[in-house]
Structure 1
Amino acid sequence: MKKSLLLFFSMVVLLIVSGCSQSKEKTITAVGSSAVQPLTEAASERYSNKNSNIYINVQGGGTGTGLSQIQAGAVDIGNSDLFAQEKKGINAKNLIDYKICVVGIVPIVNKELNIKNLSLIQLRKIFTGQITNWKEVGGPNLPVTIINRASGSGTRSVFEKSVMNNLDTKSSQEQDSSGMVRQIIANTPGSISYLAMPYINKDVKTIKIDNQEATYNNIVNNKWKIWSYEHMYIQKKAKPQTKKFIKYVLSSEVQNNVVRKMKYIPIKDMNYKKDIAGNVTKIGDN
């Protein structure tokens, strides 16, 4: 009797462990860039609807978190606005890079501010603290309030590389969350920051740079300079279901529908390419 009970309980424990193991194998965790988080969430929902046995856990945390977590093997996908080689302490040789789309980064201001256009030099001077009042660029007599992204943010790195010309940004309030940045700008007169295009809505106003607007055509033709690739990084020993999900993200179903609808740009649409150093060349040119 005791042996039968022992065997019974052993089988129960084995089934529980086996069930937990299977559950773990069917979960994909993606962490990192907030700029690509909306796309990852939308693609995940579609994928799970087609594959009910797969659960995809999507979290933000920023590019730095995504890259460090995928390097450590703590997650299945590390989302990044940057090439892994750009982040100190990341060994890109151990990771596989999938460029899934392009995203534009756009300066935003409080919508009551009577400013529609800035030159790139003016924008740079605002973020270095050389320009401190909007009247200096043709606006109202109102102090400039800078809201910056946190130091680990890939969006911030892209903005600094594209705009700041190696100059340091002025010390100011910093925020990890794109949604929180948008909310603060909407509620703070005279404020300025920048967001990935998918986060922009009617609560804030976008700014043209050198009379160029962040449109699809301007980004694909590099007339709008502040853009980056969105990357999904995986380890070389990634689980098969992780690779299948990324293949789905790169499929025409997602690229031609979800990507464009959410204000990202399919990489195949780009007429220009950008390397790790930020050098831009026309596709097809040697």
Structure 2
Amino acid sequence: MRIYIYMNKIFLIFLFLISFVFIPSVGYSGDLIWGGCGITKKAFMAELAKAYKKKTGVKIYLKGGGATYGIRAVAIGRIDIGGSCRHKLSERDILEKNTKLIPVAWDALVVIVNKKNKVKNITIQQLKDVLLGKITKWSQLGGPDKPIKLVIRKSKVSGVSFMLREMVFGDVNIDFIRNAVVKKSSGPVEKYVEKNIDSIAISGISSARKRKGLKFLDLNGAAPTKKNIAARKYPLVRPLYLTVGPHPSNQVKDFIKFALSPEGQAVISKQGTVNLKEGKPSGSFSK
């Protein structure tokens, strides 16, 4: 626990120090700065920002940083708006407790393999066994007698890693097999799977669907189609959030209103992402 608190403080100091370099300050020239989850960015944010500029003249600068950055950077005023594909770690977390998460769309975690892979479907239990190293060959999943190369994200608090552990295991601290190939972010994970026919990984469908070298495995017989995600027939569905700090400006509030409006939600749906109206409610959100 002491190590966790210490690392959180180091992360906060790091965000504070870099807040004076590279990017104009928040609210520069009346425009807005968005940062955070790359999957959220690919799911809808680029087109939503474009539509908002056309409507209002306000430009939204987009940068990455990951889901954790999207939650924590708005809390200290580093950015105006963030994006996240995971919940807060905890209401007690000193870096995240003052950030508000606003659900705007739905995404799905998908099992990605090389497009030449012949396996089509696995169960949730088989996915667990692959992640824990209990299944190590493709022949155990109906494929060839070749070893499985599991590719995972480095951080347990990334959007994919955190939500995968929460939804599949109910344990956000569980460790996966030690000999997995480790990558820093979803982009490198997806690229690795595109180039290696015996590899397998988990990513967000909003990002992975843009890569031609990948295919998605069905889970428990359900394909991750937009229709199945909306109806929750596909098992691993998660919300996508916009994040704001404790005291958002009127400009920020106006953009959030646009994102939640019928016009903004139509932009999201047009990208192939399930919007709030299309998706079946899960019962609760972590805000």
TM-score, normalised to structure 2's length? 0.81
Post-superposition offset of 1:204: 0.3
Partner residue in 2 for 1:163: 168
Residue type of the partner of 2:274?
A: I
Taking structure 1 as reference, are residues 168 and 37 closer, same or farther at Cα in structure 2, changes over 3 Å only? same
**1:139 is the counterpart of 2:148:** no
Alignment of structure 1 residues 59-70 onto 2, 5 Å: 59-70=63-74
Which of 267, 270, 276 is matched with 1:267 structurally? Answer: 276
Taking structure 1 as reference, are residues 145 and 106 closer, same or farther at Cα in structure 2, changes over 3 Å only? same
Contact in 2 for aligned 1:32/1:60 (Cα 8 Å): yes
SS in 1 for 2:86: coil
Alignment gaps of 5+ in structure 1 = 1-19, 278-286
Once the two structures are superposed, residues 45-90 of structure 1 have per-residue CA deviations (whole angstroms, 9 ceiling, x without a partner) of 12122333x2211112211111121112211112111233547433
SS in 1 for 2:107: strand
Taking structure 1 as reference, are residues 227 and 89 closer, same or farther at Cα in structure 2, changes over 3 Å only? farther
Partners of 2:168 and 2:35 lie apart in 1 by 27
Contact in 2 for aligned 1:79/1:232 (Cα 8 Å): yes
Partners of 1:145 and 1:128 lie apart in 2 by 12
SS in 2 for 1:268: coil
Taking structure 1 as reference, are residues 191 and 91 closer, same or farther at Cα in structure 2, changes over 3 Å only? closer
Count of residues in Structure 1 that have an aligned counterpart in Structure 2: 255
Alignment gaps of 5+ in structure 2 = 1-23
Partner residue in 1 for 2:48: 43
Partner residue in 2 for 1:203: 213
Larger Rg: 1
Taking structure 1 as reference, are residues 182 and 263 closer, same or farther at Cα in structure 2, changes over 3 Å only? same
SS in 2 for 1:43: helix
Residue type of the partner of 1:168?
A: D
Once the two structures are superposed, residues 233-278 of structure 1 have per-residue CA deviations (whole angstroms, 9 ceiling, x without a partner) of 112322211111121111212212x22232321112223314358x
**1:245 is the counterpart of 2:220:** no
Taking structure 1 as reference, are residues 149 and 232 closer, same or farther at Cα in structure 2, changes over 3 Å only? same
Identity of aligned residues (%): 24
Partners of 1:272 and 1:22 lie apart in 2 by 33
Alignment of structure 1 residues 76-115 onto 2, 5 Å: 76-84=80-88, 86=90, 88-92=93-97, 94-115=98-119
TM-score, normalised to structure 1's length? 0.81
Taking structure 1 as reference, are residues 249 and 190 closer, same or farther at Cα in structure 2, changes over 3 Å only? same
Partner residue in 1 for 2:197: 189
**RMSD, matched Cα:** 2.3
Partners of 1:165 and 1:245 lie apart in 2 by 34
**1:178 is the counterpart of 2:186:** yes
Residue type of the partner of 1:266?
A: N
Which of 24, 30, 36 is matched with 1:32 structurally? Answer: 36
Partners of 2:254 and 2:87 lie apart in 1 by 22
Post-superposition offset of 1:112: 1.4
Residue type of the partner of 2:47?
A: A
Taking structure 1 as reference, are residues 131 and 221 closer, same or farther at Cα in structure 2, changes over 3 Å only? same
Post-superposition offset of 1:217: 2.7
Partners of 1:33 and 1:51 lie apart in 2 by 24
Partners of 2:62 and 2:168 lie apart in 1 by 30
SS in 1 for 2:274: coil
